[in-house]
Chains A and B, each alone.
Chain A
């Protein structure tokens, strides 16, 4: 149980284009999902908290117009990197909290490797 998937697992795009990453909770409903960014051999940095049906809450320093987050249903959140640039290349990981489970645990997806050329 408590499986989170991400799609795509890796993507290469050209500078200036937009990329959408999907995060799905497969066997539970997630009222809250989180998006993280991880640079090689570095820690996970929380980018934003996504609540179903409401606007995402972004961490300080994260451009909300560049990283668009939509949490349209209890099982799906999307992160769109708009006008991507090489510095946006990173490993993006989502996590989800089971609405009916422990408020303390979150379940991570396998991550999406974004490379902007």
Chain B
């Protein structure tokens, strides 16, 4: 059972555009929602994260929007660059400190 659902599966964006990736969850016990960036053959690296008591968090070009009532959260990448081309995973942490990942979004930024 997929605890965190992620869309789209793949995304192509022009350089300078906005990339938007969405995630949804069911378990209300999740208390931490990170986004990870993964390049081929490498482990995931934490990009940005949010807790459910905050509706938005911004770090540089990356913004998380969180809707607790809808149990949805999204990643926005502003001014997308070719170097942002990677696979992005959303995740959710439960109180047992276990993380469950979305299915991933392959982002391609075209120069």
Consensus secondary structure, chain A interface: strand
Residue in B32, B89, B106 whose CB lies within 8 Å of A44: B89
Please state if A111 and B42 are interface contacts (CB–CB under 8 Å): yes
Compute how far the CA of A110 lies from the CA of B49 in the bound complex, rounded to whole angstroms: 20
Q: Which of B11-19, B58-66, B71-79, B91-99 contacts A (4 or more CB under 8 A)?
A: B91-99
- Interface of chain B residues 29 through 51 with chain A (CB within 8 A): 31-32, 34, 36, 41-46, 49, 51
The residue that B93 contacts in the complex, of A104, A107, A113, with Cβ under 8 A, is: A104
For the complex with contacts A49-B96, A97-B97, 10 further pairs of A-B residues with Cβ separation under 8 Å are: A4-B43, A6-B43, A43-B89, A44-B101, A93-B43, A104-B93, A106-B99, A108-B45, A111-B41, A111-B43
Contacts from A to B (Cβ < 8 Å): 4, 6, 32, 34, 36, 41-46, 49, 93, 95, 97, 103-111, 113
Residues of B that sit less than 8 Å from A by CB:
6, 31-32, 34, 36, 41-46, 49, 51, 87, 89, 93, 96-104, 106
